[in-house]
């Protein structure tokens, strides 16, 4: 059967909902509201860390990169201030035994105490990480630089004690704040230059145990210059190390995101493979239900089974019969949802929507729904086979999908779960038409009533942002989903991918996807049409599916209305396409 035409049937919530697979394209999510609200209110990255995931404009300094670097800097700061306090305390302890002018010795000891107190205060301040700001880092760099060099003036500017200065330059050079790094480097370099030049020129006394006064002039200036070279080298090494670390973390994150995206596609394929392996003989095979003889088991979900069926008196009259699983009968909510799917589907009259031809009760009082049997394959199958569709095929898909959504809107229904698995290309009766399936999570638009109130329903990769925010949705949410399906069919990639539902929803609410032209050769007008269809605000989107279809068709021909072009460019100026990850390229 895998090699021949596959029978594709209308599936309800019993087949796809309540999935435990994270953030796949294939699975309909029915999650509690509390979990998903937290996802849509994910904590933004620190303002000083550069662009975040929510910005959608850059991927080099992403939220994960800044968070990792920030955490590393805080731990490094705690260690540095502790060690600096210890080293300063050791130096202060030796002060009484070091020969030199009493007044300068007392000043040096007092400065050591200042440095110790400053380090202890910094350690205590780090308990509240929000108080460790770039301004404070710059202040500590300047303070420790000045204090350290005045103490070194007493201990000897050219002694081993001077090694602590490059250590400080390197530590502050690794800081997230360029200002702090520059303040420390500038303060230390300038102060040390003034002191060493004064000593080399004989303007200041050389108090250390290794005076350079007796050395030739060339040697004196060699030491002065080389110390500055060491400072500069240390500073640039520290900044280069930080940039390299940020780039490495960003590359790892991009690789992980690419893996997550591929896993989303793989999860979709796994789901379809499971469904392909299900056909065979079922518990109701060969039984008769209200004049329908049940045959081959076409699929089995967590709540029901679907059988190929034929009329007893007219064997050529084929259909698909879905029966609720007997163990679900004890749950009134599931039974009601099953019945509601059939009720809503029967309200829609369109050649682009799979028809429900009857309902009733089967063996043992099990409810059933009799549906049109579609000979063909769903969009998910076509995308696995070809990765992406030609532009002309996507135009046809959007055209048929818009007609289906228009009929659904006319019936007063919001579908809420349009995705590749719910779009079937029927070609078995001498006709070619994309048909919409599955009204399991749909609701009546006018009443706003739904059996899933207070919960997130739909498939994260294709749901509208307002749906993810648990806000009221209308026909415009279905328009967004149709644009998302078109994006997937054109590019071969979902709008967003992530390791779990929460991460996908966060991107859905806050980000624009990557530009379609990053993955495929797409005309500019088509990108502009999709930008309107994928607008975050329902008011900025196409208000009807027919408008999306008309604009998409015109865009594919390079004749998008100039007013729509201006509208799309305005939207993209406010919410630009995200930058694609490394390794993704147009083909």
Which residues are identified as catalytic?
417
* Calpha distance 486→501 (Å, rounded): 21
Handedness of CA 40, 46, 47, 51 (dihedral sign): negative
Element (H, E) at 307: strand 304-311
Strands 423-426 and 413-414: unpaired
Half-sphere exposure in the Cβ direction for 565 (13 Å, CA): 10
What's the token pair of residue 15?
């087949």
What's the token pair of residue 23?
């953030």
Residue 111 pairs in a beta bridge with none
Q: What SS3 state is found at 424?
A: strand
Residue 411: closest CA among 482, 321, 499, 346: 346
Q: Is 269 exposed, middle or buried (0-12, 13-18, 19+ CB in 10 A)?
A: middle
What's the token pair of residue 65?
């990169």
Tell me if 9 sits within 8 A of 253, measured CB to CB. no
What's the token pair of residue 503?
């991460």
Which are the contacts of 270, defined by CB distance < 8 A and separation ≥ 6? none
Half-sphere exposure in the Cβ direction for 230 (13 Å, CA): 16
Tell me if 427 sits within 8 A of 376, measured CB to CB. yes
DSSP state of 23: T
Q: What is the C-alpha radius of gyration for the chain, rounded to an integer number of angstroms?
A: 34
Which are the contacts of 185, defined by CB distance < 8 A and separation ≥ 6? 169, 172, 173, 231, 232, 235
Question: Phi and psi of 424, rounded to 5°?
Answer: -115, 130
| Number of Cβ within a 10 Å radius of residue 335 | 16
DSSP state of 514: B
What's the token pair of residue 59?
């991927």
Residue 543 pairs in a beta bridge with none
Overall residue count recorded for the chain in this entry: 587
Which are the contacts of 256, defined by CB distance < 8 A and separation ≥ 6? 499
* Calpha distance 243→467 (Å, rounded): 39
Number of H helices, E strands in the chain: 17, 14
* Calpha distance 427→386 (Å, rounded): 18
Cα dihedral 518→457→18→345 (10° resolution): -100
* Calpha distance 322→330 (Å, rounded): 18
Buried b or exposed e, range 152-161, using 16+ CB within 10 angstroms: bbbbbbbeeb
């Amino acid at each position: 059967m895998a090699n021949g035409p596959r029978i594709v049937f209308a599936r309800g919530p019993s087949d796809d909902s309540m999935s435990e697979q994270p953030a796949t394209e294939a699975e309909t999510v029915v999650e509690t509201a509390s979990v998903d609200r937290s996802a849509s209110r994910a904590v933004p990255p620190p303002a000083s860390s550069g662009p975040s995931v929510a910005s959608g404009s850059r991927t080099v300094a992403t939220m994960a990169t800044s968070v990792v670097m920030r955490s590393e800097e805080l731990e490094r700061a705690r260690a540095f201030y502790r060690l600096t306090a210890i080293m300063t305390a050791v130096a202060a302890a030796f002060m009484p035994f070091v020969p030199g002018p009493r007044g300068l010795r007392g000043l040096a000891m007092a400065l050591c105490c200042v440095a110790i107190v400053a380090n202890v205060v910094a350690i205590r301040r780090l308990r509240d990480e929000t108080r460790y700001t770039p301004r404070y880092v710059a202040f500590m760099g300047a303070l420790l630089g000045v204090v350290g060099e005045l103490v070194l003036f007493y201990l000897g500017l050219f002694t081993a004690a001077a090694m602590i200065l490059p250590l400080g330059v390197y530590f502050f050079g690794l800081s997230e704040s360029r200002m702090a790094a520059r303040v420390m480097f500038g303060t230390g370099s300038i102060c040390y230059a003034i002191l060493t030049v004064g000593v080399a020129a004989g303007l200041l006394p050389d108090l250390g145990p290794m005076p350079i006064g007796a050395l030739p002039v060339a040697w004196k200036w060699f030491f002065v210059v080389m110390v500055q070279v060491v400072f500069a080298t240390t500073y640039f090494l520290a900044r280069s190390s930080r940039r390299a670390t940020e780039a490495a973390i960003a590359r790892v994150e991009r690789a992980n995101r690419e893996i997550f995206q591929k896993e989303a596609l793989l999860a979709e394929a796994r789901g379809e493979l499971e469904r392909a392996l299900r056909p065979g003989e079922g518990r109701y095979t060969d039984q008769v239900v209200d004049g329908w003889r049940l045959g081959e088991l076409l699929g089995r979900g967590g709540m029901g089974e679907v059988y190929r069926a034929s009329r007893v008196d007219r064997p050529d009259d084929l259909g698909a019969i879905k029966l609720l699983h007997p163990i679900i009968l004890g749950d009134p909510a599931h039974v009601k949802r099953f019945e509601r799917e059939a009720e809503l589907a029967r309200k829609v009259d369109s050649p682009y929507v799979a028809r429900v031809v009857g309902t009733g009760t089967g063996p043992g009082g099990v409810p059933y729904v009799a549906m049109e049997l579609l000979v063909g394959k769903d969009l998910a199958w076509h995308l696995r086979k070809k990765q992406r569709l030609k532009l002309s095929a996507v135009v046809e898909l959007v055209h048929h999908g818009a007609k289906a959504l228009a009929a659904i809107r006319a019936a007063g229904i919001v579908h809420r779960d349009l995705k590749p698995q719910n779009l079937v290309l029927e070609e078995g009766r001498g006709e070619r038409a994309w048909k919409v399936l599955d009204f399991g999570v749909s609701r009546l638009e006018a009443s706003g009533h739904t059996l899933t109130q207070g919960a997130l329903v739909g498939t994260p990769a294709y749901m509208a942002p307002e749906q993810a925010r648990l806000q009221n949705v209308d026909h415009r949410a279905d328009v967004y989903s149709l644009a998302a399906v078109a994006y997937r069919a054109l590019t071969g990639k979902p709008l967003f991918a992530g390791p779990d539902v929460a991460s996908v929803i966060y991107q859905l609410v806050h980000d624009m996807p990557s530009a379609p032209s990053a993955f495929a050769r797409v005309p500019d007008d088509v990108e502009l049409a999709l930008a309107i269809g994928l607008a975050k605000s329902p008011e900025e989107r196409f208000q009807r599916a027919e408008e999306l279809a008309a604009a998409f068709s015109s865009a594919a021909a390079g004749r998008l209305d100039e007013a729509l072009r201006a509208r799309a460019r305005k939207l993209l100026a406010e919410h630009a396409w995200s930058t694609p990850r490394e390794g993704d390229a147009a083909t």
